[in-house]
């Protein structure tokens, strides 16, 4: 609920600025505290007096005024629980996505570290401009919530995409952040991330291209949703939840088994090496001494299968599989073989998703072999959708 929350609204110079009066009214009706920041261009469409009357607060415009001796943008960042920019013009979107802070609102945006919603509104041609879309994608990748514009009749007299999203939709996006994100409260979720590294000698190893970004995104979103999170990773991350750093498959298996004992769910997003060298040289292997190097490999523990064998009633195990062909068939075969509750599968033959990318696209198959398609999006958004499907959030 928005009741008692401090909501900061930034208004830029678009004709849809007048619609924000209704958004302010909705927040105030539901007992939120609201302050408004306007750009100079926004003053051409709506007067500050209108918003001061609706909010009972001063409207902020000047970059260099002070509140309690703090710079204006820092004081407002401290006060606000969330920042909403609506309508957001192409100009302001471009500035924010490139770290430009040349007025009070963009300075706020640059410094703001809490939930941040952007609701664009502009002419169809501007919305479809390749550089505007690149900037939108940058913001999505960075974790900003974009309430995308709708199609319809625009003030410029044309029909198309670019109209400010319905005020109710913007309100719901804010309300969901405060109301809906704690659905994993009192649950412990163990997530694995990164690719394991199997030593050949002190300086060489067998590994893979996994960056750990998908596992990180899942852990972040589970934490935001209220879960106690343990991230078991081969990649170091500085997080507000527990991160256990491992290197090899055997090390990861030991940590997973220990943490899964009292967990509600395990999400195996790590790319675990199937094999490791039988013999690991204690000294660096010198190429001058050998023209051909043959490695004898032995199978690593199958962490996913082992956890499925020991899981207790009520525990959820989610496996991941990276496939280069026959994605759905191979994923369905794996879930039957492993015995897990869900399998998330993505196509590694595609260059625009998966390994090292900020984007992903996957299918999620449950043990009844029901298939759900998660369309291409940022890994952060895919992680949110994945968790909501696993925990059947809407039911």
Give me the mean pLDDT over the 38-57 stretch. 96
Domains 6-179 and 188-390 belong to one CATH topology: yes
Q: Which residue has the tokens 């919530």?
A: 145
With beta carbons less than 8 A apart as the criterion, state whether 167 and 22 touch. yes
Count CA atoms closer than 13 A to 26's CA, side-chain side.
Answer: 17
Nearest C-alpha neighbor of 146 from the set 110, 96, 107, 182: 96
* Spatial contact of 244 and 215, defined as CB atoms under 8 Å apart: no
Compare 199 and 392 and report the one with higher pLDDT.
199
Position 102 confidence tier, pLDDT thresholds 50, 70, 90: very high
Please state, rounded to an integer, the average pLDDT across all residues of the chain: 91
Tell me the two tokens of residue 233. 């990773």
CB distance 41 to 81 below 8 Å: no
Beta strand 204-206 with 228-233 is: unpaired
Q: Which of the pair, 309 or 380, is modelled with greater confidence?
A: 309
pLDDT digits (tens, 9 = 90+) for 277-302: 999 999 998 887 678 888 999 999 99
Q: How far apart are CA 82 and CA 85, in angstroms?
A: 10
Helix and strand element counts for the chain (H, E): 13, 21
Cα 336 to Cα 307: distance, rounded to the nearest angstrom: 14
Contact of 143 with 380, CB cutoff 8 Å: yes
| Residue 69 in this model has a pLDDT that exceeds 60 | no
Please tell me the predicted confidence (pLDDT) of residue 160.
80
> Which position has the higher pLDDT, 1 or 371?
371
Residues assigned a catalytic role: 156
pLDDT band at 323 (very low <50, low <70, confident <90, very high): confident
Reduced to 3 states (helix: H, G, I; strand: E, B; else coil), residue 40 is coil
**Is residue 71 predicted with pLDDT exceeding 80?**
no
Each domain of the chain, given as residue ranges in start order, spans 6-179, 188-390
Closest of 201, 211, 144, 155 to residue 177, by C-alpha? 144
How confident is the model over 57-83, as a mean pLDDT? 78
pLDDT of 181 reads: 59
Let me know if domain 188-390 sits in CATH 3.40.50.10300: yes
% pLDDT > 90, the chain: 71
Q: What pLDDT score does 118 carry?
A: 97
> Check: CATH 3.40.50.1950 for 6-179?
yes
φ/ψ of 137, rounded to 5, equals: -65, -35
Residues 48-77 have a mean pLDDT of 81
């Amino acid at each position: 609920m928005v009741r008692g929350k401090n909501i900061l609204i930034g208004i830029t110079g678009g004709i849809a600025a007048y619609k924000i009066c209704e958004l302010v009214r909705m927040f105030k009706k539901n007992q939120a505290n609201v302050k408004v920041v306007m750009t100079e261009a926004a003053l051409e469409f709506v007067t500050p007096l209108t918003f001061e009357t609706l909010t009972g607060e001063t409207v902020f415009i000047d970059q260099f005024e002070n509140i309690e001796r703090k710079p204006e943008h820092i004081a407002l960042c401290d006060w606000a629980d969330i920042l909403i920019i609506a309508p957001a013009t192409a100009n302001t979107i471009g500035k924010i996505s490139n770290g430009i802070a040349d007025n009070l609102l963009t300075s706020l945006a640059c410094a703001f570290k809490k939930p941040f919603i952007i609701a664009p509104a502009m002419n169809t041609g501007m919305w479809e401009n390749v550089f505007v879309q690149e900037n939108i994608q940058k913001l999505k990748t960075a974790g900003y919530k974009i309430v995308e514009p709708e199609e319809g009749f625009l003030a410029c007299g044309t029909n198309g995409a670019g109209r400010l999203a319905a005020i109710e939709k913007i309100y719901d996006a804010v309300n969901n952040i405060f109301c809906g994100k704690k659905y994993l409260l009192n649950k412990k979720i163990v997530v694995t991330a990164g690719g394991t590294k199997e030593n050949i000698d002190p300086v060489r190893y067998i590994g893979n291209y996994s960056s750990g970004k998908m596992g990180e995104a899942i852990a972040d979103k589970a934490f935001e949703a209220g879960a106690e999170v343990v991230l078991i990773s081969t990649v170091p991350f500085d997080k507000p939840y527990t991160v256990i750093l491992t290197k090899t498959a055997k090390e990861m298996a030991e940590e997973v088994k220990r943490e899964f004992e009292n967990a509600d769910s395990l999400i195996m997003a790590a790319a675990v090496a199937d094999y490791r060298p039988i013999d690991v040289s204690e000294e660096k292997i010198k190429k001058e001494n050998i023209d051909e190097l043959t490695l004898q490999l032995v199978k690593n523990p199958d962490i996913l299968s082992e956890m499925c064998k020991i899981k207790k009633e009520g525990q959820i195990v989610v496996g991941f599989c990276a496939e280069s062909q026959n994605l759905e068939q191979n994923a369905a075969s794996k879930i039957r073989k492993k015995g897990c509750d869900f399998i998330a599968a993505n196509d590694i033959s595609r260059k625009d998703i998966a390994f090292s990318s900020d984007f992903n696209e996957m299918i999620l198959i449950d043990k009844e072999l029901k298939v759900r398609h998660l369309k291409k999006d940022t890994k952060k958004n895919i992680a949110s959708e994945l968790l909501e499907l696993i925990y059947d959030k809407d039911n």
